[in-house]
Amino acid sequence: MNGKIASTLVMALRIQRRVIWALMLRETKTLFGKHKLGYLWALINASFTIGIFWGIRELAGVSPPHGLSVPLFLFGGFIPWYIFSETVNGAMNGVSGNRALLAYPQVFPIDILVARGLLHGAMYSCVFLFLLSVASFGGYEIAPSDPASMLMSLVLALALGFGAGAIASAINLMWPTTRVVVPMLMRILFFTSGLFFSVEFAPVYVREILFYNPLSHLIELMRFGLSEGYESRFVSMPYVFGFILLLLSFGLLLERFARKFLNEES
């Protein structure tokens, strides 16, 4: 009996793996097929934004703390942000925009969320590696002190985005105005997560407020992994793990509850 159950479970997991892979391929064509630049669009988008803040810092003569170069400092902020924000935005509209796919018995709403999350995570991880290579060829020293911290930052940013995206997706099915509210909240996070400044060097009262933003911890963790001289006492991994676990639990429960609204028009 146990062997039969295990065999059934393995087969189900294989089916869902194929479903998620097929959804990722479909999402790739949907996201990049409409742009003439295709896959380069994500790279251009990230590079353009980082370039603007790079130029501002250079013109203002502001050097990053702990001797970290300007591009590495900005990479450490913007890459976790892009993984988080794009996962949230992709998940929010993923289920409501792909209702027809749910007619297939093998496809569940959670599969769409996972496929979009993995796609954005992989895409911006590749962008990160490419930008690091460009910075290295440009004469900047690229010598990560703790690759494990860098990887953890990327994975946790994806998990954080997935949890927030699952909540946004569920609420969007119940309350379509969510697609207007979420971008407003994301703009607030953009300016308060430490993308282009160091939380460690902010005033005490600012650090106490930003402590409750888990994304700021992940950005500081990424910068710690990028540079041996960058130390941050701000990062609290127990808080980050606890926050993400609660967010994922609530997001998955809410996603399950919101399935009853799938047949309603947005």
Q: The whole model's pTM is what?
A: 0.88
Percent of the chain scoring above 90 in pLDDT: 23
Q: Is the pLDDT of residue 1 over 60?
A: no
Dump pLDDT digits (tens) for 228-250.
Answer: 767 677 888 999 999 999 999 99
With a pLDDT cut of 70, the percent of the chain lying above it is 87
Give 39's pLDDT tier (boundaries 50, 70, 90): low
> How is residue 23 written in tokens?
């959804």
Task: Give the residue-averaged pLDDT of 150-172.
Answer: 93
Q: Per this entry, what is the length of the chain? A: 266
pLDDT 10s digits, 184-223 = 999 999 998 888 888 877 888 888 888 999 999 999 999 8
Considering only residues 2 and 162, tell me which one the structure prediction assigns the higher pLDDT.
162
pLDDT tens readout for residues 90-127: 888 887 777 778 777 788 888 888 988 998 898 888 88
Domain ranges of the chain: 23-261
Task: Tell me the range of 71-75, 111-115, 163-167 where mean pLDDT is highest.
Answer: 163-167
Long-range contacts of 48-53 (CB under 8 A, 24+ apart): 49/78, 50/74, 50/75, 50/78, 50/131, 53/78, 53/195, 53/196
